[in-house]
Amino acid sequence: MKKRKNRPQTKRPALSRRGSFMIIAFAAVIALGAITVASKQLFANKSSKTSKAQAVATQAAPKYVTVKVAGRDVQVDPQTGQLKPLTSDEAKQMADGLKTMLNKSTDDLVPVQNADGSVSMDLKGHFQNVAVARVNADGTVEQSCIDEPQQAAQFFGIDPQLLGVEPGKGAAIQPVVRITPRKVSQ
């Protein structure tokens, strides 16, 4: 019998396949980990930006609840108790109502001769003194009596042109007489 030389057999193909598989599996695990970390950071950045934007939006535009006061619906901030500022439409609506009451025009008024010789006239809502009030930021109620459109604009802080006051006109109008504010319980 012939003796064969014992040559060490190399198992390179099997080792190579197993080694390649291990390297690919290791690379896949590393890649998945990197993707997971990146997506969590991206999501955290987006959510923090979103939460910051929501916080700014919440601070900038508080939500108001509607409360019925003296037969009127009033919008109030539930956290601070502050009344919602007038919108431009609400300011125009208020100005239209005040404009009629503070009208000093006699154009559409007709004098009526009475049987006893006296003359009367239906003022049709013109020439009125109007009692007005507002709630200040500190919770006090400020009230006044006005008889000029310029005074109403000054008291409520609205554009005088909404009340029909022409620019430059009304400089000689008396200032609003303010009654000492009182704190009201809410």
Pair 91, 174 in one domain? yes
Pair 109, 26 in one domain? no
Residue 98 lies in a domain: yes
Residue 67 lies in a domain: no
Question: Among positive and negative, which fits the CA dihedral 45, 46, 49, 50?
Answer: negative
Pair 100, 35 in one domain? no
Residue 9 lies in a domain: no
Pair 49, 98 in one domain? no
pLDDT greater than 60 at residue 178: no
Pair 49, 95 in one domain? no
**pLDDT for res 43:** 73
Q: Which domain holds residue 35?
A: 20-61
Pair 91, 171 in one domain? yes
**pLDDT for res 118:** 95
Mean pLDDT of 67-78: 81
**pLDDT for res 46:** 65
Mean pLDDT of 149-168: 87
Pair 37, 112 in one domain? no
Task: Tally the domains of the chain.
Answer: 2
**pLDDT for res 166:** 82
Pair 154, 95 in one domain? yes
- 4 — pLDDT class (breaks 50, 70, 90): low
Residue 81 lies in a domain: no
Mean pLDDT of 65-84: 81
**pLDDT for res 177:** 56
pLDDT greater than 90 at residue 94: no
Residue 8 lies in a domain: no
What predicted TM-score, i.e. pTM, was given to this entire model?
0.50
Average pLDDT, the chain: 77
Residues 127 and 106: their CA atoms lie apart, in Å, by: 9
Pair 99, 179 in one domain? yes
Pair 97, 178 in one domain? yes
Pair 91, 162 in one domain? yes
